[in-house]
């Protein structure tokens, strides 16, 4: 069964159609890269998976998006539960103005968990998962803002992992980071794949090649091609995809 399945998805900002008839099926424990020029709809599409676009007035979706076989836009869906299942990491690291520990514990606390020991264990596991533990274990009470950009981004990933989602959405997670931090995040994505299904928006073609199993190319709100990443980067079937990835785009 597919982890995420979108069927005939159209999406509108007011009267402007941002996505046209998108059909993508994503298998569990895979990394899917969404690529395309700015304004092509890839981030809009990503944000549909945890209903982040609901927060924007005047938006409308048609078609269906199923996660674990259930339509997440069906009536009666609890959006909070959905977002527990679908974590998100953004372009710029956005830690809360709290301590390192409280950043990761935040999701657990807002979900009503009060068991101190449980929270401590979960925070430690999550920070270890993002390979940040050795760097922060002695300064958990310090502000998250004291960390470097790369560390902050890994902390944000730890924060997303703490509530044990099964899907992680990443919107250009390394575009604000230096090459070393970028490679750490990429390694992390590779490791996290064994437990999570990851969808990543990236402008970095090489990054899409390095981290993803499948790549979807969007252009002007349409899905042009979705295939195995190796095929997309060696022999794409559609000329427009080739023009984009080789940098010959009009």
Partner 1 sequence: MSHLDIELQQLKTESIKMWSLVNLQLRKGKEALLKIDQDLAREVILSERRVNAYELKLDRDCENIFALFNPVAVDLRFVLAVLKINSNLERTGDIVEGIARFVMNVDHTFDTKLLEITRVVEMYTAANNMMESVLEAFEKEDTALARKIFKEDELLDDINIKANAIIALYVKDQPQNVVENALYLLSIIRKLERVGDQAKNMAEEIIFYIEAKVLKHRSKVEKAAE
Which structure tokens are listed for 138? 């002695």
Q: How far is the CB of 248 from partner 1 (least distance, A)?
A: 7
Q: Which of 66, 236, 240, 250 binds partner 1 (CB under 8 A)?
A: 236
Q: Which residue, 93 or 236, has its beta carbon nearer to partner 1? A: 236
Is residue 228 close enough to count as binding partner 1 by CB under 8 A? no
Q: In what order do the strands lie in the sheet with 86-89?
A: 70-71, 59-67, 4-13, 16-26, 222-228, 214-219, 31-35, 197-201, 167-171, 86-89
Question: Which x/- pattern, by CB under 8 A, does the window 194-213 give for partner 1?
Answer: -----------xx--x----
Q: Which residue, 209 or 221, has its beta carbon nearer to partner 1? A: 209
Q: How far is the CB of 227 from partner 1 (least distance, A)?
A: 12
Measured from the Cβ of residue 213, the count of other Cβ atoms closer than 10 Å reads 16
Q: Up-side HSE of residue 71: CA atoms within 13 Å toward CB?
A: 11
Q: Which residue, 89 or 245, has its beta carbon nearer to partner 1? A: 245
- In whole angstroms, give the CA distance from residue 140 to residue 74: 41
Q: Which residue, 131 or 205, has its beta carbon nearer to partner 1? A: 205
Q: How far is the CB of 194 from partner 1 (least distance, A)?
A: 27
Kindly state the helix (H) or strand (E) to which residue 8 belongs, with its residue range. strand 4-13
Q: Which of 75, 116, 141, 248 binds partner 1 (CB under 8 A)?
A: 248
Positive or negative: CA dihedral 245, 181, 200, 16: negative
Q: Which residues bind partner 1 (CB under 8 A)?
A: 205-206, 209, 233-236, 242, 245-248
């Amino acid at each position: 069964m597919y982890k995420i399945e979108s069927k005939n998805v159209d999406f509108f900002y007011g009267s402007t159609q941002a996505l046209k008839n998108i059909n993508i099926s994503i298998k569990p424990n895979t990394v899917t890269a969404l690529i395309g020029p700015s304004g092509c709809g890839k981030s809009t599409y990503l944000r549909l998976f945890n209903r982040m676009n609901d927060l924007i007035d005047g938006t409308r979706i048609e078609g269906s998006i199923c996660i674990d076989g259930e339509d997440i836009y069906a009536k009666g869906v609890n959006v909070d539960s959905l977002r527990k299942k679908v974590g998100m990491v953004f372009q710029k690291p956005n830690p809360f103005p709290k301590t390192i520990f409280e950043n990761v514990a935040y999701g657990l606390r807002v979900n009503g968990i009060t068991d101190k020991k449980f929270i401590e264990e979960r925070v430690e596991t999550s920070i270890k998962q993002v390979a940040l533990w050795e760097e922060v274990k002695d300064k958990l009470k310090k502000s998250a803002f004291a960390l470097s950009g790369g560390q902050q981004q890994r902390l944000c990933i730890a924060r997303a992992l703490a509530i044990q989602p099964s899907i992680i959405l990443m919107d250009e997670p390394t575009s604000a980071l230096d090459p070393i931090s970028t490679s750490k995040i990429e390694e992390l994505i590779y490791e996290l794949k064994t437990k999570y299904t990851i969808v990543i928006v990236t402008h970095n073609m090489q990054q899409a090649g390095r981290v993803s199993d499948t790549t979807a190319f969007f252009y002007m709100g349409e899905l042009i091609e979705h295939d195995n990443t190796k095929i997309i980067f060696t022999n794409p079937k559609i000329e427009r995809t080739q023009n984009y990835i080789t940098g010959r785009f009009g």
